[in-house]
Amino acid sequence: MELPFAESYKIKMVEAIRKSTREEREKWLKEAYYNLFNLRSEYVYIDLLTDSGTGAMSDKQWSAMMLGDESYAGASSYLIMKDTIKKLFGFNDFLPTHQGRAAENVLFSVLVKEGDIVPGNTHFDTTKGHIEFRKATAVDCTIEDSFHPTKYHPFKGNFDLEKLENVLKSNPIEKIPVIIVTITCNSSGGQPVSMQNLKDVYSLAQKYGTKVFFDSARFAENAYFIKMREDGYQNKTIKEIVKEMYQYADGMTMSSKKDAIVNMGGFIGFRDRKLYEEASVYNIMFEGFVTYGGMSGRDMNALSQGLMESTEFEYLDTRIRQIAYLGERLKKFGIPLLEPFGGHGIFIDAKRFLPNIPKEEFIAQTLAVEIYLESGVRAVEIGTLLADRDPVTRENRYPAMELVRLAIPRRVYTNSHMDYVAAAIENVFERRDKITKGLKILQEAPIMRHFTVELDRA
């Protein structure tokens, strides 16, 4: 008999989780104003809100923490991180930050000015937030296929090179300080960008005289998809692929809470020493001295070890297969999903799931609420709430897709948990015709409203 697939780790420490009743959940959700971010985590049975900062660290990461050097300046933990970044990505200089959006804040303080244009492949919301906060414009240049939930494309995170070149050609280049390549592309479903596309984007940037930075939160998952799907990479290691990917970037911002498998942390990698020096000033102002920037020594140690582990094939294979396992189960039941399955979660196509809810009533949020009420599983809306209002007209922006993301934390849940999640969603699917009312907004913040919005039944 051929031996089946099994996880590439065993479990050494556990945390108890608790189920709840439907009545309890009704009450808690009402108190949370139908915003799942407002729920206490103890009210959640399986938490798929995010894969960010929710991973389980390894024994090697925990032991590296004990060796953390907490010196204010020049800590060995900083030097280990510098070495790791150089080895994996090829960048000589880096700045530690407390998380990904802090890296964006520091970098964009140098690069992005009012009136600028920042092309990208569906910028993540904090990235877009930091661009729009500076009265600059984020222009989405993702390929058209990316907006069709069932259309197969192996690299749905790719840039449409024609769209990108048009932006570069039709604007003064000094207004385009940087192109942001998000790997994998979170907002469009954890979809990867191919090596060829990374190469082509970089050569366009060079041709027109601008820079490329990778928003690298899930760079290792991106490398896994290159290995599995792109010709010529099958026999390369993940680390070799990562090294090649970063030849096509002038730098990177990193939310280490994802593919560095730590609970907090981030950094910026730089090819250009001068840019590093300019950014250092902001890092000192916003984050901390250049050799710790918002992180303790032990956290930098865990981060460096995490980067080495997340770029191992066995780890990635376990992770991506678990996501596909959940996806396949839901697909068999006829649940409309975004395909192919992405890197960090399964994305449900809420428009097809709940055709009776008008877009003004927040289709994806309505579905996320129903899944929680059914089962205590917490997912997250990637739809109209997240898309926010247009900064100029203040009108709601209705995105092409209304998605519910089931983000899978790293090394945390077993496939039995995945079975529970699938059954919960299948139950909601069976009663979908009875879900005819969505939600309305009671209160919202002027920017990044989805975190704090207060809602009620429409």
| Contacting range for ligand F0G; rule: CB under 6 A; set: 124-132, 191-199, 324-332, 350-358 | 124-132
Closest distance of CB 187 from ligand F0G, Å: 8
Minimal CA–CA distance to 166: which of 208, 136, 138, 124?
208
For ligand F0G, the closer of residues 264 and 435 by Cβ is 264
Minimal CA–CA distance to 365: which of 426, 296, 438, 285?
438
- Give yes or no: 155 in active site: no
Catalytic residue among 258, 344, 351, 417: 258
- Give yes or no: 450 in active site: yes
**202: Cα separation from own chain's centroid:** 22
Residues 207-226 within binding reach of ligand F0G (CB under 6 A) = 215, 217
Distance from C-alpha of 276 to C-alpha of 281, rounded to nearest angstrom:
9
Residue showing tokens 């899978």: 408
One residue of 126, 210, 283, 365 binding ligand F0G per CB under 6 A: 126
One residue of 35, 52, 304, 311 binding ligand F0G per CB under 6 A: 52
Closest distance of CB 220 from ligand F0G, Å: 13
Catalytic residue among 43, 124, 233, 372: 124
- Give yes or no: 125 in active site: yes
Does position 182 bind ligand F0G by CB under 6 A? Answer: yes
The pattern of x and - marking residues 256 through 275 that bind ligand F0G according to CB under 6 A reads -x--------x---------
The pattern of x and - marking residues 71 through 110 that bind ligand F0G according to CB under 6 A reads ----------------------------xxx---------
- Give yes or no: 368 in active site: no
**Structure tokens belonging to residue 48:** 């798929």
Closest distance of CB 126 from ligand F0G, Å: 5
Asked whether the CA dihedral 16, 22, 24, 29 is positive or negative, the reply is positive
Closest distance of CB 2 from ligand F0G, Å: 36
- Give yes or no: 302 in active site: no
Residue nearest to ligand F0G (CB): 100
Does position 50 bind ligand F0G by CB under 6 A? Answer: yes
Catalytic residue among 47, 93, 116, 215: 215
Whole-Å CA distances, 176 to 142, 169, 341? 17, 10, 32
Catalytic residue among 72, 333, 398, 451: 72
Q: Which residues bind ligand F0G (CB under 6 A)?
A: 50, 52, 99-101, 124, 126-127, 182, 186, 215, 217, 255, 257, 266
Catalytic residues: 72, 124-125, 215, 217, 258, 450
